[in-house]
Amino acid sequence: MTYSHLEEVSGEVGAFQLKVRKKARYVNEDLCTGCGACVEKCPTTVEDAFNIGLGERKAIYKYFPQGIPSTHCIDAENCRQLGQGKKCGICAKVCQAGAVDYEQQDQLVDLEVGAIVLATGYDVFDPSVIPEYGYGRIDNVVTAIEFERLLSASGPTHGHLDRPSELALRVEIAALDKDLKKFNRQIDKLEEKHGKKTAEFVKEFKAGQAGEDGDFERWASLAEKAAVAEEKLAPLNKKEAAAHTAKKLAFIQCVGSRDFRFNRFCSSYCCMHSVKEAMIAHEHDNETTSSIFCMDLRAVGRGFEEYKLRGGNSANIQYIRGRVAEITEDEAHNPIVWYESTTTRKVEHETFDMVVLATACVPSAGTPKLAELMGLDLDENGFFKTDSLIPLDTSRPGIFVCGCAQGPMDIPESVAQASSAAARAAEVVFTAPKAAAGGGK
């Protein structure tokens, strides 16, 4: 059940009673073929959460291109018809399958299960609370997951390493261009109506020789607006022409983890994540060079050390031991990284095209609420509490936890834990009736 959340839990191991709210998608799952005709015509664009705000999506959308189920979904809050009470209904008109249903309601589903597995994952640490790294203030400082989307062929830049400052510049240019085209269309109409060129008219108007006409005031103001927009556009276009993709990258490790101010724990996967991102960036463009700033690079896992060395030997990655103190920015939006190199024992600085922050893995936002709902304990870091000898059992019998809901871990470890949690849950389900017959609870 996608687009659903758990509302109530009662009962005990072997017989948990659950209430799950299946939120209204406003699209009939049985009828939608996922063709995407509705997306093409939807007039509302909003920031795309899957691309962490780097791209845009429509109010009717599929969460990501290969998403399962392929049923589309209307984001009611941003929809003109549902959220804003305007007349729209375009998606319903273009849907050949007749799947759009504005009347759909949330459904409450009652379930009874023998065991529960929590695989609620993690959230990415928000680095804007670290003022010295300038995230949010400096355009070209991004988080690892944002960088991942920029690198992805299905991402907002189709895998080109365009810098966020240039993406913002392009948005600005597009907006100005749109305005300019609008002004020019209106000016063209006026030119045609009065049989005069704008330059000629403006001259006459300024000299007071243009005479009287209802249109003239508007014409003059339009001509002025167009001139201002053109003037603004010229330097921006020049900047855009000079723009290049990011070739010199810096990766900063332990952003929000192993830091007494935020989280003391090690997020475990970020070192390898940064090495991987640097390698993929190098694969895209072999002129790319990367510097990874770390306290120590933790390549713990099968094949990880070799991977790290391969990055250093063949992907232009330089590993620098030292903690970054501050990131500043020059006029061309290039971030400057200030750090103490512990090998040379000097404070140094270097300019990069883009800085990637290896942000910590923190408990997902809903974890405390879920723990309260289910009556579970959390550990000192806010993840679900488990015992180190029975690492998948939570504090309540019959409820198991796996993956990053239990603590930071990488994908292979998550998968291993998941299989293990499945085995633990199966154990409960298969042995439960026997336990009951034996007089146990």
Residues 105-164 interacting with another protein (rule: CB under 8 A): 111-122, 145, 148-149, 151-153, 155, 159
Q: Give yes or no for residue 436 binding another protein (CB under 8 A).
A: yes
User: Amino acid letter at 412?
Assistant: P
Angle at 437 between CA 432 and CA 438, to 5 degrees: 95
Strands (E) across 256-353 are located at 289-294, 317-321, 324-329, 335-341, 346-351
Size of the site for another protein (CB under 8 A): 79
Judged by CB under 8 A, the residue of 106, 213, 215, 283 near another protein is 283
In angstroms, rounded to a whole number, what is the distance separating the alpha carbons of residues 392 and 151?
A: 34
| DSSP state, residue 135 | B
Q: Which stretch binds another protein (CB under 8 A): 63-71, 82-90, 160-168, 253-261?
A: 63-71
Could you tell me the smallest distance in angstroms from the CB atom of residue 219 to another protein?
Answer: 49
In angstroms, rounded to a whole number, what is the distance separating the alpha carbons of residues 327 and 339?
A: 9
Site for another protein in 253-282 (CB under 8 A): 272-273, 275-276, 279-280
Q: Give yes or no for residue 419 binding another protein (CB under 8 A).
A: yes
Q: Which stretch binds another protein (CB under 8 A): 86-94, 191-199, 322-330, 422-430?
A: 422-430
Collapsing DSSP states into helix, strand and coil, what is residue 17? Answer: strand
In angstroms, rounded to a whole number, what is the distance separating the alpha carbons of residues 108 and 67?
A: 24
**Residue (134 or 311) nearer to another protein, CB:** 311
Q: Give yes or no for residue 46 binding another protein (CB under 8 A).
A: no
**Residue (87 or 434) nearer to another protein, CB:** 434
Cβ atoms of residues 359 and 259 within 8 Å: no
Q: Give yes or no for residue 1 binding another protein (CB under 8 A).
A: yes
Largest CA distance in the chain: 106
Judged by CB under 8 A, the residue of 56, 68, 349, 368 near another protein is 68
208 burial (CB, 10 Å; 0-12 / 13-18 / 19+) is exposed
Q: Which stretch binds another protein (CB under 8 A): 84-92, 160-168, 235-243, 424-432?
A: 424-432
Angle between helices 216-242 and 164-194 (to 10 degrees): 150
281 burial (CB, 10 Å; 0-12 / 13-18 / 19+) is buried
Q: Is the dihedral of CA 244, 245, 251, 256 positive or negative?
A: positive
**Residue (123 or 340) nearer to another protein, CB:** 123
In angstroms, rounded to a whole number, what is the distance separating the alpha carbons of residues 394 and 400?
A: 6
Question: Residues for the chain: how many in total?
Answer: 441
Site for another protein in 287-346 (CB under 8 A): 301-304, 306-307
Site for another protein in 198-257 (CB under 8 A): none
**Residue (218 or 430) nearer to another protein, CB:** 430
Could you tell me the smallest distance in angstroms from the CB atom of residue 142 to another protein?
Answer: 14
Could you tell me the smallest distance in angstroms from the CB atom of residue 344 to another protein?
Answer: 29
Q: What distances in angstroms separate CA 412 from CA 101, 193, 281, one per listed residue?
A: 41, 70, 23
Could you tell me the smallest distance in angstroms from the CB atom of residue 85 to another protein?
Answer: 23
Judged by CB under 8 A, the residue of 127, 134, 403, 407 near another protein is 403
Site for another protein in 363-382 (CB under 8 A): 366, 370
Q: Which stretch binds another protein (CB under 8 A): 56-64, 131-139, 246-254, 326-334?
A: 56-64
Q: Give yes or no for residue 84 binding another protein (CB under 8 A).
A: no
Cβ atoms of residues 118 and 383 within 8 Å: no
Could you tell me the smallest distance in angstroms from the CB atom of residue 147 to another protein?
Answer: 9
Q: Give yes or no for residue 34 binding another protein (CB under 8 A).
A: no
Q: Give yes or no for residue 411 binding another protein (CB under 8 A).
A: yes
Residues 6+ apart with CB under 8 A from 186: 222
Could you tell me the smallest distance in angstroms from the CB atom of residue 168 to another protein?
Answer: 21
Could you tell me the smallest distance in angstroms from the CB atom of residue 159 to another protein?
Answer: 8
